[in-house]
Amino acid sequence: MLPEYGTVENAKQSGQVLLIHPIRVLLTSSRDSSSRIRSFLNELSYIIPDSFKINRGRQSLDDIFKRSRLYGASYIVIVSSSKGNPGRFLVYNTYTSIREFDIKIQGITLLKEIGGRESKIVSKKIRVGCIGELSNTLVKNLFMNLGYTGVENCESYVNGRYIEKINDKNIYEVKFLDAHNNIIGPTIRFLVDEGSNKY
């Protein structure tokens, strides 16, 4: 586990073991998140390459940015809350502080809720993620930014499809699959415009 606001020198002096590995994405929630959102973030931390989850607690957004820069992360993902469920998927660029994505989450299904033969609990973090079938440009760009950029030795493929329409918006369902088509992560339903970058 990474130390809280520590340095290599401080870790040596205190006898802490400092794990050196790249962190590209810092995952967290809005303040006082529900257990369902925490479970969602736990599952995301396994299938987003080079990601690390932290508990938000009472930390401000500025605190999160400082911590992200300390870890060398390029992006911060914040899952906001809506009546105890994931409400929005917010992605910030750590260095510019610009919010690059803000996508409404229409619903999720946790991997532990799927069960059966079609799902598979991953025992270690995904290192190489690849884009599978993603016809929505916004969602495709989202996961490319979050590290789904591999072309070989893929341990996870992100795939999506339009499943329903609400007013002028579409529900786009995203699943994470291994090479044998087992579901290995949460299913996420985003509310998006068809074939565009709008949300």
* 103-113 residue pLDDT tens: 999 999 999 89
pLDDT band at 195 (very low <50, low <70, confident <90, very high): low
In a domain, 126, yes or no: yes
Q: What is the mean pLDDT of residues 137-158?
A: 96
In a domain, 125, yes or no: yes
**Domain holding 61: CATH number?**
3.40.50.10480
Tokens describing residue 123: 């025992």
Q: How far apart, in whole angstroms, are the C-alpha atoms of residue 70 and residue 66?
A: 6
pLDDT at 7 over 90: no
pLDDT for 33 equals 87
The count of structural domains within the chain is 1
Q: What is the pLDDT of residues 42-54, one digit of tens each?
A: 999 999 999 999 9
Q: How far apart, in whole angstroms, are the C-alpha atoms of residue 84 and residue 36?
A: 7
pLDDT at 34 over 80: yes
In a domain, 16, yes or no: yes
Reduced to 3 states (helix: H, G, I; strand: E, B; else coil), residue 189 is strand
Q: How far apart, in whole angstroms, are the C-alpha atoms of residue 153 and residue 161?
A: 24
User: For residue 131, which of 145, 147, 146, 148 has the smallest C-alpha distance?
Assistant: 148
pLDDT band at 9 (very low <50, low <70, confident <90, very high): very low
pLDDT for 27 equals 97
**DSSP single-letter state for residue 112:** H
pLDDT for 4 equals 42
In a domain, 188, yes or no: yes
Domain that holds residue 105: 8-192
In a domain, 199, yes or no: no
Exposed, middle or buried, 190 (CB in 10 Å: 0-12/13-18/19+)? Answer: buried
Reduced to 3 states (helix: H, G, I; strand: E, B; else coil), residue 93 is strand
In a domain, 1, yes or no: no
pLDDT at 6 over 80: no
In a domain, 53, yes or no: yes
In a domain, 197, yes or no: no
- Contact by Cβ (8 Å): 78, 67: no
